Amino acid sequence: MAGSGKRAMPDRKSVQPAKKRKKHQGGNKSGIEGGDWGVFVSCDLGKEGKCMAEAVDLFSQSVESSSSDNHGDKPDSDEEEDEDDIEAQIRKEVEGLKPSASKSRPFHAIRMDLPCLLFVRFDKSINPEEMVHQLCLEAAANPEKKRSRWIQRMTPAISVRKTLSVDLESFAREILKPHFHSGGPPKKYAIRPVVRSNKKFNRDVVIKTVADVVGPEHPVDLKNYDLIILVTVIQNVISMSVAGSDYDRLKKYNLAELYSPAPTSEPAETTKD
């Protein structure tokens, strides 16, 4: 009633604590799933949000640039084929305008529960190893053409598994087969594990298991390797990928260092009184 001094108490079920509400705002902190692939990206503390947007933008530009180059390389076709191509393109554009729940974005940035780190999930049509390598090659060749401000190291993840259920030996065998067990001469290799906030695996376990999978026919060479195996264990996920012999030359895929190479040291000038 209007004259009553009593106020109706809200239903306790409809009241959500402020902390819980806040938890659901912002980036997705627990979105990495087994079977994902993409790139772990590091950044400075407090710049995670800006880095997420920048990483997605950089990867998207790379895909657009690659698609444009491939289209430009196509040979000219006759008029009938051109008309068919135009009609196909129109149909593709019309389909693209239609809303589709199943249509997924090629990149999806995921905020993690660790500072200075995020994960960008890739569509399975885009190879994270190849993209990261190409971006680093371009940065090394043209450090003055800086394309990122917040991104530091990029670590490809050709596949992700949950640490609680993964069989590391089987996982390693699956990822490494194309590189070490598909014919060809022996390859010198190195293993670079990163383990953070996980009690199931440590560096020694990862190195021994992966080395056993590679096999004794391939020699270990920590400096002059042909291939380097990158194993990333972060909280409850583990990923693996393989990089080439230029990994260290490309600053371990650290874009910030590639765009800001250390100046060459010059002898200090001496002054006389």
Looking at the chain, the whole-number percentage of residues with pLDDT higher than 70 is 71
The pLDDT confidence band at residue 29, using thresholds 50, 70 and 90, is very low
| pLDDT score for 64 | 86
Q: Is the pLDDT of residue 86 over 80?
A: no
pLDDT tens digits along 259-268: 987 655 555 4
Identify whether the C-beta of residue 181 lies closer than 8 Å to the C-beta of residue 217.
no
Average pLDDT over residues 50-79: 75
pLDDT tens digits along 138-164: 999 999 999 999 999 999 999 999 999
Identify whether the C-beta of residue 218 lies closer than 8 Å to the C-beta of residue 186.
yes
Residue with tokens 């490309």: 250
Phi-psi domain of 207 (left: phi exceeds 0; alpha: psi -120 through 50; beta: other): alpha
The pLDDT confidence band at residue 85, using thresholds 50, 70 and 90, is low
The pLDDT confidence band at residue 95, using thresholds 50, 70 and 90, is low
Q: Is the pLDDT of residue 254 over 60?
A: yes
Average pLDDT over residues 74-85: 51
* Of 52 and 80, the one with more pLDDT: 52
Average pLDDT over residues 187-206: 96
Identify whether the C-beta of residue 41 lies closer than 8 Å to the C-beta of residue 119.
yes
Residue with tokens 């009241």: 15
Determine the Cα–Cα distance for residues 129 and 124; give it in Å rounded to an integer: 12
Model pTM?
0.74
| pLDDT score for 84 | 60
The pLDDT confidence band at residue 70, using thresholds 50, 70 and 90, is low
What mean pLDDT, rounded, does the chain reach?
82
Window from 5-19, 78-92, 120-134, 255-269 with minimum mean pLDDT: 5-19
Average pLDDT over residues 233-241: 96
| Main-chain phi, psi angles of 118, to 5 degrees | -145, 170
Average pLDDT over residues 109-132: 95
Q: With CA atoms as reference, report the closest residue to 191 among 174, 171, 170, 176.
A: 176
Q: Is the pLDDT of residue 26 over 50?
A: no
* Of 63 and 261, the one with more pLDDT: 63
Does the domain at 38-63+104-259 match CATH 3.30.2130.30? Answer given as: yes
Average pLDDT over residues 101-111: 76
Residue with tokens 């902390």: 19
Window from 13-22, 73-82, 87-96, 187-196 with minimum mean pLDDT: 13-22
Cα 132 from chain centroid (whole Å): 8
Q: Is the pLDDT of residue 101 over 90?
A: no
| pLDDT score for 156 | 98
Q: Is the pLDDT of residue 223 over 80?
A: yes
Q: Is the pLDDT of residue 272 over 50?
A: no
